[in-house]
Chains A and B, each alone.
Chain A
Amino acid sequence: MTEQSVGIVAPQTAHFNTPLPLKSGGVLPEYDLVYETYGTLNASRSNAVLVCHALSGSHHVAGVHADSGAVGWWDNLVGPGKPLDTGRFFVIGVNNLGGCYGSSGPNSTNPATGKPWGADFPFVTVEDWVDAQARLADLLGIERFAAVVGGSLGGMQALSWTLQYPERVGHALVIASAPKLTAQNIAFNEVARQAILKDPEFHGGHYYEHGVVPTRGLALARMVGHITYLSDDSMDQKFGRSLRHDKPVFSYDVEFEIESYLRYQGDKFAGYFDANTYLLTTKALDYYDPAFDYSGDLVAALSRATADYLVVSFTTDWRFAPSRSREIVYALMHSDRRVSYAEIDCPAGHDSFLLDDAQYHAVLRAYIDNIRI
C-alpha cells in the first residue's frame, strides 16, 4: 500500500472537572486537553496508539489543518500505509498540560482569578502528563493502548506509561530518549530558562497582563536548543562557514549563515510558542527520573513494567545520545522485558527522530507490523 496523508484533520477539546493531583503536591482543579485522532477505533477497542509529543510539539501529529495548512509534526510516520498505519490503528495525539496549543496551560484562564494562569500554573511532570492522558483514554473508552509512542521527551512519557499503567500498555516505542537527563543536558535547559527569566518583558511570568511577550529570551532559548538538536556535521554541511557578504565585514549583524538560521528559528519560535510553557516543559524534562525513588536503580524501577519495548537512538544525537538509550535497553533486558534496540546511522542529530530515514522507518514499520491488535 502506498503511503498517504490522513488528510484534513481538526482538533477536539475534552474538559475534565475531576481535580488532577500533581507530583509537585499541587492540584489542577479542572482542565482542558486538546487532542486529535486518526483512523478508527475498532469494535474491541484494541487498536489505539498514543503518540506523545516532545518539548515544542503538539496534538497535531498528522494530517493537515484546513485553515492554516499546517502539517502534523510526525506526518511522515502516521497515516494510511505509513509505518504507524492509520488503516490499522486508531492514533491519538494530545497536547500536554502546561502546553500552549489549547490544553490548559499558563496562557489559559485560571478559573480562580479569571485571568491567565501565567507563572501560577502549577509545575507539571511527565507522570502528571501520563495521568492526564490516561483520563483522556478513559473518556475515549480506551482501556489499553496497543502502543504508546514518543520521541525525546515523548519517549519519556511512553516509558512512564509502562510504569504508571503497566496493564494499559502493550508496547512502548521509546525513541531518541533517555531514562533521565544528564547534568550537561539540564545545563542546556537552564541556559534556556535563564534567557527567558532574565528577559525584562517576562514580568515574573505574568507578561500577558502587561500585553508583552518575552520574545528575546524565548528566541535565545530556542537558539540554544536548536544547536543541541543538530549534529556538528549536519550544521557544517548545511551552513559551514558561509558568509552573507562573502567576506568578513566586522559587524555584529548577521554575517555567517548559521547566525541567520539561528536568529530566524529563534524569532519564528518566539512568535508562536509560550515562554511559560517552555519553562515548565524544560523543568519536566529535568525532573524526569523514574529510578529516583529506587536509589537510582533503573532495573528495580522498571520491574513493574509488563510491556514490550522498541528503543531507537541515532548515532549523531548528542543531546540524547545512544548510550542513554542503551541504559534503558539494558535495564529493560535485566528486568526480563522483551526489548529491541536499533541505533540508526543518521547524520541529523537529535532531530533525526522527526525525519523519515529509510532504515529508521523500516525498523519502526517492521516492529509496528508485529503489534497484535
Chain B
Amino acid sequence: MSFQRYDYDVIANWIEPGERILDLGCGDGSLLRYLGEVRQVRGYGVENDPERIVACARNGINVIQIDMEQGLAGFDDGFFDHVIMSLSLQAMRNTQGILREMLRVGREAVVSFPNFAYWRHRQAILNGHMPVSKNLPYQWYDTPNVRFFTIADFDTLCEQEGIAIRERLAFDEDKVITEEPNFLASVALYRLGRA
C-alpha cells in the first residue's frame, strides 16, 4: 500500500458518511474522489494551479480556483464538517491565517505534513545536505515548500493558537509510529478542533 493511500484511509476514518468536506490544495482531486467513493461526502476542493483545475474537472471533482493565501473569505462559518489540508501546509506562507480559517469554516480540520525532524532528514543535514525524501521530493532550489517545521513545532503552534489536537497519528511510510514520533515519523496527521 502506498503512503498516499494510507494517508487517505486515516482521513476517511475521521469522516462520517455524507459529510461536507473542503479539501485545500486538492491537487487533481483524488482524495475527494476517494472520500466520495468510501464516505459519500459532499466535497469541494480548492486549488490555484491551472493544470490541476483541469485535472479536477476531468475527474469530476468540484474545484474552486482561489488563492488560499488570501484566506477563505466567501466561505460561511462552520459550513463544512471537515476542512482538509493534505501535505500542503508546508507550502503555505500564511500558516496561522489558514489554520484559523480552516477552523472558522469547518467544525474540525484535518492537517497532514512532512516532519522535517524525521531521522533521515536529520541525517541528511548532519551529512551537510538539505533532506530529499519521498515526502520531501524536491531540491532546495525548486521546492514549493516555504515553511519547514516539525511535529514538535506544530504541537507548540497549536497550543499557542488555542487549537485543540483531537487526534494525532504519525507514520514512517505506512507504519504507525507511537514512540518518539518527532524523530521516527516522516509524516504526521492531525485532527484539530477549536479549543
Residues of A whose CB lies within 8 Å of any CB of B are 310, 326-327, 329-330, 333-334, 336, 338-343, 345, 359, 362-363, 366-367, 369-370
Contacts and interface: CB of A to CB of B under 8 A. Distances in A.
B138 to A, nearest CB: 24
A357 to B, nearest CB: 10
Given A326-B74, A330-B74, A367 B57 contact: yes
Contacts of A334: 76, 79
A340 B50 contact: no
Contact of B53 (A326, A336, A363, A370): A363
A88 to B, nearest CB: 16
B44 interface: yes
A363 B62 contact: no
B57 to A, nearest CB: 4
Given A330-B75, A333-B44, A334-B79, A366 B62 contact: no
Given A363-B57, A367-B57, A369-B58, A345 B50 contact: yes
B125 interface: no
Contacts of A342: 53, 57, 63, 65
B32 to A, nearest CB: 12
Contacts of B97: none
Interface in B53-100: 53-58, 60-66, 74-76, 79
A333 B57 contact: no
A370 B62 contact: no
Contacts of B74: 326-327, 329-330
A333 B20 CA distance: 10
B120 interface: no
A32 to B, nearest CB: 38
A366 B59 CA distance: 8
B42 interface: yes
Contact of A366 (B58, B64, B65, B76): B58
A340 B63 contact: yes
B64 A359 contact: no
A367 B57 CA distance: 5
Given A334-B76, A334-B79, A363-B53, A341 B65 contact: yes
7 tightest A-B CB contacts, nearest first: A366-B57, A366-B58, A330-B74, A367-B57, A341-B64, A343-B65, A362-B54
Contacts of B44: 333, 339
A310 B57 CA distance: 9
Nearest to B63: A340
Interface size class of B (residues with CB under 8 A): 20 to 34
A146 to B, nearest CB: 15
Contacts, number: 55
Given A326-B74, A370-B57, 10 more contacts: A330-B76, A333-B64, A339-B64, A340-B53, A340-B57, A340-B62, A342-B65, A343-B66, A345-B50, A367-B57
Contacts of B42: 336
A341 B56 CA distance: 11
A343 to B, nearest CB: 5
Nearest to B43: A338
A334 B79 CA distance: 8
A338 B50 CA distance: 20
Most chain A beta carbons < 10 A, residue from B55, B57, B66, B75: B57
Contacts of B64: 329, 333, 339-341
Most chain B beta carbons < 10 A, residue from A310, A330, A340: A340
A366 B51 CA distance: 11
Contact of B56 (A333, A340, A369): A340
25 contacts: A310-B57, A326-B66, A329-B64, A330-B74, A333-B62, A333-B64, A334-B76, A336-B20, A338-B62, A339-B62, A340-B53, A340-B57, A341-B63, A341-B64, A342-B57, A342-B65, A345-B50, A359-B50, A359-B54, A362-B54, A363-B54, A366-B54, A366-B57, A366-B58, A367-B57
A21 B121 CA distance: 72
Contacts of B57: 310, 340, 342, 363, 366-367, 370
A340 to B, nearest CB: 5
B23 to A, nearest CB: 13
A318 B43 CA distance: 30
Contacts of A367: 57
Nearest to A333: B44
Nearest to B20: A336
A330 B22 CA distance: 13
Contacts of B76: 330, 334
A370 B56 contact: no
